[in-house]
Structure 1
Amino acid sequence: MMSKSLLAAVSIATLSFSTASYSKEENDQWYLGGIFSKQDIHNRGREFDSIGVLGGYQYSSNISLETRLSFGLSNGYSSFYYHEITDKTFPYKEEINTQLSLLGKFSYPLSDSLTIYGLAGFSRSEFQIYMTMQTYQNDEFLSINQLEKKITEVGVTYGIGVEYEVTPEVTAFVDYQVYPDLKIVSRESNWNSLSVGVSYAF
């Protein structure tokens, strides 16, 4: 698994190369696309899938500004909790509601069709947690209730990727991205994603 420090170093190196080779071109363009991500929450054994859209503006062959908006799919993490006192089983579930990222994209062409790039920016992710809360008084059990809780995580995100120009308008890409440490319930966990997608320039 690529460490955070190594990934950050590679991203900075990509930024340095792209900045050094920057030249303003006449074919600046907007682009739109779709993205699918598999997200891994370390230390908790959680995996989440999300699907979304992206849009951006390419200032040159080296620098772009990109926004990504994703929505969690229904196959988030889920389990069951058996409560001995009531002899009932209660569901527990974690899922991504929405995820919004604003990213600088810094590219370095390897050939006419193949490009590597670094990503750096900010993300805002909202999780939905379905859980139970027990109520006691003087060590005596009173009740158990099901709750819905929202957790919002905002912070710096960065990554690295590669893209292939299928046609002058259509590009396929894959990238690896690190998100801010996520705290669910009581402990923080490392969090990253592997994404694939396609974009269309116009």
Structure 2
Amino acid sequence: MKKSVIALAVSGLAIASVQAAPQANTFYAGAKAGWASFHDGLTQFDAKKNQGEGFGINRNSVTYGVFGGYQITSNLAVETGYDYFGRVRGNATVDGKEKRVGKHTAHGAHISLKGSYPIVDGLDAYARVGAALVRSDYYSQQDANGEFTAVKKDRKKAHNLKTSLVLAGGLEYAITPALAARVEYQWLSRVGNLDKAIRKEGGSSNKFQYSPDVGSVSAGLSYRFGQGPAPVVEPEIVTKNFAFSSDVLFDFGKANLKPAASAALDAAHDEINKLGLAAPAIQVNGYTDRIGKDAPNLKLSQRRAESVANYIVSKGVNPANVTAVGYGKANPVTGNTCDAVKGRKALIACLAPDRRVELQVQGSKEVAM
């Protein structure tokens, strides 16, 4: 039955797409209610040879509580709360009628670490481990001969405080970023100590040890404070430009890289890597000076751009991300500064800035906004 309920909860709640975990450095508070059952230690009461034919145990009861927490990270929180952990009752036949002749109730504060793990959007599985300071209250109605009685003056009371281990696990579903629902199974180990409680009240030591475990299934709602819009992760576009003199990379009128060109291109490649871009797009643009005819200059600039592009690819860059374009005489940077220069050698020297290869690098890296 429990497995069927949990399976239905998972399949039904997994439809939405809200992040289940609250944002870090925020607080939450909530309430829960469910059903508890006391285990172990109770078989000593069940023995008919000790308690008579008409004695019985009611182990099950409601449980409820409030809780709050601080979300350290999206997957780790410190949670505290106060619970009524439940009660167990002893019933016996007295004067031909079934009467309540004994009861143990448990309530107290608890603190635990809560770790979450996302299953699907909007749904987390979580576990808690911690400790609870539990107050156990006991009463029984027995006369001086140890016989069960319905007379109130024969009621004996006792109580004690004891620390118990708390283990819990469950599912948490974000209805909205600020409102969450949870279903949880919680286990308390060795709650209370009847023998010590009786001796504290001046009674004689009990002939059996009664310190039961308490298991409970509950459902709850919590409100998360300070839940603004979820952080939006947007790509940061980064652009970087490099310019190389063709005279550094190539001999005049040639498209084969000089041996010394590798140093300049390797330095550029290292800078590109340091940018930390995801699959950067690299465009290599080749230019010549204005000396000579347009068609040969266009072909020369294209071959030079391809030579540089091939070198970059040889360093491990994806060829699909590298393009090479030759522009020939276009886009000179010298303007008309060399118009009055006389002589071929002097003109070649003056127009050196126009003979260049430019790298345009563009890519994105994820940043939290």
- TM-score of the pair, normalised by structure 2: 0.41
In structure 2, give the amino acid aligned to 1:177: Q
Q: 1:159 to 1:97 in 2, by over 3 A?
A: closer
The answer to which structure, 1 or 2, has the higher relative contact order (CA under 8 A, 6+ apart) is: 1
Q: 1:68 to 1:94 in 2, by over 3 A?
A: same
Tell me the distance in 1 between the aligned counterparts of 2:127 and 2:23. Answer: 23
Name 2:169's counterpart in structure 1.
160
1:36 aligns with 2:33: yes
1:189 aligns with 2:212: yes
CA contact (8 A) 2:89 2:100 kept: no
**Higher mean displacement: 178-187 or 45-54:** 178-187
Gaps of 5+ in 1: 1-24, 137-143
> Deviation at 1:109?
1.0
% of aligned pairs identical?
A: 23
In structure 2, give the amino acid aligned to 1:162: L
| Counterpart among 129, 134, 147 of residue 143 in structure 2 | 134
1:173 aligns with 2:187: no
| Counterpart among 199, 221, 224 of residue 201 in structure 1 | 224
Q: Please state whether the residue corresponding to 1:181 is helix, strand or coil.
A: coil
Deviation readout 1:66-119 (Å, 9 max, x if unpaired): 11112367x863524527xxx998642424352211011011111220000110
Tell me the distance in 2 between the aligned counterparts of 1:26 and 1:162. Answer: 17
Where does structure 1 differ by over 4 angstroms across 4 or more consecutive aligned residues?
87-90
> Deviation at 1:177?
1.5
| Counterpart among 84, 98, 117 of residue 71 in structure 1 | 84
Name 2:60's counterpart in structure 1.
47
Name 1:18's counterpart in structure 2.
none
CA contact (8 A) 2:136 2:159 kept: yes
Looking at secondary structure, tell me which structure has more strand per residue.
1
Gaps of 5+ in 2: 1-21, 43-57, 146-152, 196-207, 226-369
CA contact (8 A) 2:36 2:85 kept: no
**TM-align CA RMSD:** 3.2
1:57 aligns with 2:70: yes
Q: How does 1:5-154 map to 2 (within 5 A)?
A: 27-43=24-40, 44=42, 46-71=59-84, 77=89, 79-80=91-92, 82=94, 91-96=100-105, 98-135=107-144, 145-154=154-163
Q: How many residues align?
A: 170
Q: 1:88 to 1:149 in 2, by over 3 A?
A: farther
Tell me the distance in 2 between the aligned counterparts of 1:134 and 1:26. Answer: 59
CA contact (8 A) 1:48 1:77 kept: no
CA contact (8 A) 1:91 1:130 kept: no
Q: 1:76 to 1:68 in 2, by over 3 A?
A: same
> Deviation at 1:28?
2.2
Q: 1:151 to 1:90 in 2, by over 3 A?
A: farther
Deviation readout 1:16-56 (Å, 9 max, x if unpaired): xxxxxxxxx97421001011132111243511322221111
Q: Please state whether the residue corresponding to 2:216 is helix, strand or coil.
A: strand
Tell me the distance in 2 between the aligned counterparts of 1:104 and 1:165. Answer: 20
Tell me the distance in 1 between the aligned counterparts of 2:114 and 2:128. Answer: 5
CA contact (8 A) 2:23 2:71 kept: no
Tell me the distance in 2 between the aligned counterparts of 1:89 and 1:162. Answer: 41
Tell me the distance in 2 between the aligned counterparts of 1:198 and 1:93. Answer: 34
Q: Please state whether the residue corresponding to 2:73 is helix, strand or coil.
A: coil
Tell me the distance in 2 between the aligned counterparts of 1:127 and 1:63. Answer: 31
- TM-score of the pair, normalised by structure 1: 0.70
